[in-house]
Amino acid sequence: MSGPVGDRLEAGFFARDPRTVAAELIGCALFRDGVGGRIVETEAYAEYDPACHAHVGRTDRSEVLFGPPGRAYVYLSYGIHQLFNVVTEPDGTAAAVLIRALEPLCGLERMRARRGPRRPDRELCAGPGRLTQALGIGAATNQADLATGVVGLYGRAASEAPDLEVGPRIGITKAADWPWRWWERDSPWVSR
DNA sequence: CCTGCGATTTGCT
DNA sequence: GCAAATCGCAGGC
């Protein structure tokens, strides 16, 4: 590989514990149709985790979380915001990683057009609802195969080792104290 | 700078 | 019927 973006990530990368995947995704990249950036903040969700949508078992919505790794789980939050997750763990075990913030790399003009002309670049992708709007990710991406579709994740150079920080997840009421959020220390691009 | 609140839809009880 | 993995705006300091 060359440059800041490495090889496209495939099922094997995602078929692991969501906490491991969440930590290793920091510094990787998320793109849709040439627009995207470097992942700087993630959260993990697991089947035995009360905050996870799969905790209630298999439903129409949660079914994808139980399916093969490397698929997208996109859902509508608060009736307004689309949130983008990657399904992890092998087929049959439910888990996911929520992508919470990106450092914009490509397609800044298209991001600004989608997010509004007066918005500071700092706020383009700093938040899970914001980054899906900036990249144009919506319900059509739910259940998509991220190894082959228009939305894809890409590895980081072996030389790049992000300075990781861990803390509690944001915006949840159940299991709110579990330290299952990862971000890049001192990054100006994280949420909040 | 900070805090508080309304938007708007869906999934599940 | 209600809570929800959020965001942007209004208003106060």
> How many helical (H) and strand (E) elements, i.e. helices and strands, does chain A have?
5, 8
In whole angstroms, C12 C1' to A31 CA is: 41
How high is the pLDDT of residue A157?
Answer: 80
pTM for this predicted structure: 0.96
Nearest residue to B10, CA vs C1'? A79
- Residues 22-61 of chain A: which lie with beta carbon within 7 Å of strand B? 53, 56, 59-61
For A69-100, what is each residue's pLDDT tens digit? Answer: 999 999 999 999 999 999 999 999 999 999 99
CA distances for A172 relative to A6, A43, A48, A50, A183, angstroms: 33, 11, 15, 10, 17
pLDDT in tens, A116-151: 988 999 999 999 999 999 999 999 999 999 999 999
